[in-house]
Structure 1
Amino acid sequence: MKAIYIEAFAGISGNMLLGALIDAGVPFDHLVSEMKKLPLGEYELINKRVNKCGIDANYFNVLLPDEHQHDVTIGHRHEHTHAGHHHHEHGDTGHNHEHHSDCAQHCHQVKVSEEPVHHHHEHRNLHDIAHIITHSDLHDKIKMQSLQVFTALAEAEAKVHGKTVDEVHFHEVGAIDTIIDIAGCVLALEYLGIEKIFVSNIHTGSGFVNCAHGLMPVPAPATAELLQGLQHSQGKIEKELTTPTGAALMKVLAVSTNDIPQGFSGSKIAYGAGTWDLEIPNVLRISIGELEAEAGGELLVAECNIDDMNGELYPYVQERLLQAGALDCWLTPIIMKK
């Protein structure tokens, strides 16, 4: 089985994962053409090589018009305070952007405009985003998994803010960015034929970050909610290294592991870069390889004696048991005490 092992030693965001998947072999042009199937209006996709502490990595991002003018309401976007993004809905303007400064090697910048979009007053809730995804021309499996991730994200935001999922609103620019990150990652994993996803301990960062609600702890509340059930730690770097979108992708798609999965044999390593320059390499490392089928394991055997039942019913009973999930079902005649 083809599998992927994700090492989130510098955190994880949607665009860092997508950058790594492009580095692993997903053609950027294929991603561009598939994303055009989503009616999202005007945006630019950035794809370039950067160097982080000596590691050559791929940097992917989404650039949106008028992005600095907007804040997200209840379900505010945390993505742009992380290593992977470029506008600050938390209000954290303390790091340098690298859309052009690291473009010394190979850089793609593609502008997409499917239809005019008025960004200034439009907000979208989960229902609106689901409509965009389900009415696109993407493959049904891509639609389904993308909606699962977006739903997890909206549910976490709703719980944190004490609202219903329908009351969580993403501003237009945040919604476009997040849709591309999520649908793009799901599409890229499908393109590579990945059947199983593992993720290491996730480094979240620490400290506090500014947002529309004031200072928020790192990991941000929605991120912390999504990371429940996944191994994670704060570490000593006072930055928001893991974003809600990155956490949502891992919650829905990945299995948490504290080491390289048993039976996993890697054949290719790829790197996706974040924006910031940190004291550690600000990259997400992924290993693609094969996972051996698990040997052994435990099975539950259920058996019973049946006395005086019409023999014509047995085939029906066997059929229903197999439909219910039994691996096998067999009958044998027995001699009972009477």
Structure 2
Amino acid sequence: MSDLYLECNYGISGDMVVAALLDAGADRAALEKALASIPAKGFKTEIKRVEKNGVSCLDFNVILDSEHENHDHDMNYLFGHEHAEHNHDGFHNGENHGYCHEHCEHSHEHHHGEHGEQVHYEQVHHHEHRNLHDVLEIIDKTEMTENARKLAHKIFEIIAKAESKAHSKPVEEVHFHEVGAIDSIVDVIALSVCFDSLYVEKVFVPFLCEGSGTVRCQHGILPVPVPAVANIVQDFSIPLKIIGECGEFVTPTGAAFVATVATDFSLPKDFVLKKIGMGAGKRDYGVPNIVRAMLIETAEKINSENQLTSALHDKIVKLETNIDDSTGEALGFVMEELFESGALDVQYLPCFMKKNRPAWLLVVLCKVEDAAKMEKIIFTHTTTIGIRKAQMERTCLVRSAVSVEVFGESADVKVVDVYGEKRFYPEYESVSRIARKIKKPFGEVYNKIVSECACTE
């Protein structure tokens, strides 16, 4: 399993990263299957090689029909800010479909254009409006792994919160226009499927490079970085560099993707490049509009693999407490909270306390750095007044994840290396979903997945 280094020296957008990940080896078949299942109309996709400043790159293009088209790649429109003569309705000629890339819009509000004229944007366009629930519903009906679906949800939730903050509106009241447009939904789904198929462990993004000046959008003329991008990099402490070029180099989708997947904002001291993907942007600047996705392996990881061992060693903390006066509902809630906060394992074991009282022994295994967080959850949501704690050493077998196709369906599988021998453990969610869909026994589906994994080795 490799790590991912995203080089964003000249900005980042959703379609650029999709192309870069595909060029670096993401599963194109899984992507095409997901795209074909999106329950929305008005688009098609194209993947081809192009040249950017003399460099061969991959281009992922979402092509909209005339009803859904916008000015996302019209440089004169986005950054020229020239206004045509007013027509009889008081609108600018040629402006009816022009907005900044992926920026949200609240219907029935009035805003002022560059020269102060009032424009009612509900009349200015005929594009679809979607709130966060609408967008997530489209994602939920698209065929992809559960990990990819969670990633897509997270990206849109981050954008929604950033737009909510920018416009002082509750998240549920934010109605997306550009972000809710089908091209942005396709970009996020494609991003999530491609990233999930690479099975990377860590994601290094040293910084994002942004331009300067202003950009024309739904709300008029906005400064670069646009408010949604500024809010995301602020909320997630993403390092930002302003380069000496005029224009919008970082889109909300690009920033939200980094906020979702980045694990480190500094590169490891030594690493080996395993594969390089070049993703092309659509806009033409004076600098290469390119994102590079590099699969890397650190020297530490390579040395570890060369030791020919199938075991990893680390330290964990074991927390335990006896509880005899909390309800079953409360204990179930505590387990959910502990797992949600990163617990490695949570158990309830029946026991007897003083005066022969039936009780439960709560046992929590967690990372050393998470122990205080787990203790707070236990004290907050149970009746216990004391927790026992012990630090322990742990030996774990090396594991990875793969996806295989059985009965025409994709299944996620955990692969464990037992001193050179690989064992396959299909994920329960995949087995149960397939068994229900094709009406076959759980065991038959499970064994078929294991057999398919063994054949592909």
TM-score of the pair, normalised by structure 1: 0.73
Paired residue secondary structure (1:149): helix
Is 1:147 aligned to residue 153 of structure 2? yes
Question: In the alignment, is the contact (CA less than 8 A) between 1:50 and 1:57 conserved in 2?
Answer: yes
Paired residue secondary structure (1:234): strand
Task: Please give the alpha-carbon distance, in whole angstroms, between the structure 2 residues aligned to 1:69 and 1:51.
Answer: 24
Question: In the alignment, is the contact (CA less than 8 A) between 1:149 and 1:252 conserved in 2?
Answer: yes
Q: 1:66 to 1:218 in 2, by over 3 A?
A: same
Q: 1:93 to 1:329 in 2, by over 3 A?
A: closer
**Matching residue of 1:271:** 278
Q: Could you tell me the percent identity over the aligned residues? A: 37
1:144-223 equivalences under 5 Å are: 144-171=150-177, 174-223=180-229
Q: 1:256 to 1:203 in 2, by over 3 A?
A: farther
Is 1:65 aligned to residue 65 of structure 2? yes
**Matching residue of 1:240:** 248
Is 1:226 aligned to residue 251 of structure 2? no
Q: Where in structure 1 are there 5+ consecutive unaligned residues?
A: 71-79, 96-118, 303-310, 332-338
Which whole-Å deviations, capped at 9, do the CAs of 1:275-321 have from their partners, x for residues lacking one?
Answer: 2333322211111022445999998899xxxxxxxx987xxx99734
Task: Please give the alpha-carbon distance, in whole angstroms, between the structure 1 residues aligned to 2:28 and 2:365.
Answer: 42
1:286 to 268, 293, 297: 293
CA RMSD of aligned residues (A): 3.5
Which whole-Å deviations, capped at 9, do the CAs of 1:234-292 have from their partners, x for residues lacking one?
Answer: 1111010010000000011113424x324543211111011233332221111102244
Task: Please give the alpha-carbon distance, in whole angstroms, between the structure 1 residues aligned to 2:222 and 2:252.
Answer: 13
**Matching residue of 1:19:** 19
Q: 1:143 to 1:300 in 2, by over 3 A?
A: closer
Question: In the alignment, is the contact (CA less than 8 A) between 2:16 and 2:290 conserved in 1?
Answer: yes
**Matching residue of 1:46:** 46
**Matching residue of 2:327:** none
Question: In the alignment, is the contact (CA less than 8 A) between 2:4 and 2:296 conserved in 1?
Answer: yes
Question: In the alignment, is the contact (CA less than 8 A) between 2:67 and 2:127 conserved in 1?
Answer: no
Which whole-Å deviations, capped at 9, do the CAs of 1:39-82 have from their partners, x for residues lacking one?
Answer: 02131112121111221111112111125666xxxxxxxxx64x
Q: Which amino acid aligns with 1:39?
A: P
Question: In the alignment, is the contact (CA less than 8 A) between 1:67 and 1:87 conserved in 2?
Answer: no
Q: 1:59 to 1:121 in 2, by over 3 A?
A: closer
Question: In the alignment, is the contact (CA less than 8 A) between 2:4 and 2:293 conserved in 1?
Answer: yes
Q: Which amino acid aligns with 1:32?
A: E
Which whole-Å deviations, capped at 9, do the CAs of 1:11-53 have from their partners, x for residues lacking one?
Answer: 0000000010111123544422221222021311121211112
Q: Where in structure 2 are there 5+ consecutive unaligned residues?
A: 82-124, 305-311, 320-350, 354-358, 372-388, 393-457
Task: Please give the alpha-carbon distance, in whole angstroms, between the structure 2 residues aligned to 1:25 and 1:67.
Answer: 34
Task: Please give the alpha-carbon distance, in whole angstroms, between the structure 2 residues aligned to 1:255 and 1:297.
Answer: 19
Question: In the alignment, is the contact (CA less than 8 A) between 2:46 and 2:62 conserved in 1?
Answer: yes
Question: In the alignment, is the contact (CA less than 8 A) between 1:122 and 1:172 conserved in 2?
Answer: no
Task: Please give the alpha-carbon distance, in whole angstroms, between the structure 1 residues aligned to 2:80 and 2:33.
Answer: 34
**Matching residue of 1:252:** 260
**Matching residue of 1:92:** 78
Question: In the alignment, is the contact (CA less than 8 A) between 2:50 and 2:280 conserved in 1?
Answer: yes
Q: 1:207 to 1:135 in 2, by over 3 A?
A: same
Q: Which amino acid aligns with 2:46?
A: I
Task: Please give the alpha-carbon distance, in whole angstroms, between the structure 2 residues aligned to 1:2 and 1:25.
Answer: 12
Question: In the alignment, is the contact (CA less than 8 A) between 1:230 and 1:256 conserved in 2?
Answer: no
Question: In the alignment, is the contact (CA less than 8 A) between 1:67 and 1:173 conserved in 2?
Answer: no
Q: 1:299 to 1:138 in 2, by over 3 A?
A: closer
Task: Please give the alpha-carbon distance, in whole angstroms, between the structure 1 residues aligned to 2:220 and 2:173.
Answer: 20
Q: Which amino acid aligns with 2:258?
A: M
Task: Please give the alpha-carbon distance, in whole angstroms, between the structure 1 residues aligned to 2:199 and 2:65.
Answer: 34
Q: Which amino acid aligns with 1:288?
A: L
TM-score of the pair, normalised by structure 2: 0.55
Larger Rg: 2
Question: In the alignment, is the contact (CA less than 8 A) between 2:281 and 2:290 conserved in 1?
Answer: yes
Q: Which moved more, 1:2-11 or 1:171-180?
A: 171-180
Instruction: Count matched residues.
Output: 284
Task: Please give the alpha-carbon distance, in whole angstroms, between the structure 2 residues aligned to 1:15 and 1:263.
Answer: 29
Question: In the alignment, is the contact (CA less than 8 A) between 1:201 and 1:232 conserved in 2?
Answer: yes
Task: Please give the alpha-carbon distance, in whole angstroms, between the structure 1 residues aligned to 2:316 and 2:27.
Answer: 43
Which whole-Å deviations, capped at 9, do the CAs of 1:194-249 have from their partners, x for residues lacking one?
Answer: 22211121101111111222211111010011112011111111010010000000
Paired residue secondary structure (2:222): strand
Q: 1:318 to 1:4 in 2, by over 3 A?
A: farther
Task: Please give the alpha-carbon distance, in whole angstroms, between the structure 2 residues aligned to 1:55 and 1:250.
Answer: 24
Of structures 1 and 2, the one scoring higher in RCO (CA 8 A, sep 6+) is 1
Structure with more of its chain in helix, by fraction:
2
**Matching residue of 1:306:** none
Q: Which amino acid aligns with 1:161?
A: H
Q: Which amino acid aligns with 2:288?
A: P
Task: Please give the alpha-carbon distance, in whole angstroms, between the structure 2 residues aligned to 1:158 and 1:171.
Answer: 13
Task: Please give the alpha-carbon distance, in whole angstroms, between the structure 2 residues aligned to 1:330 and 1:297.
Answer: 11
- CA-CA distance at 1:143 after TM superposition: 1.1
Paired residue secondary structure (1:129): helix
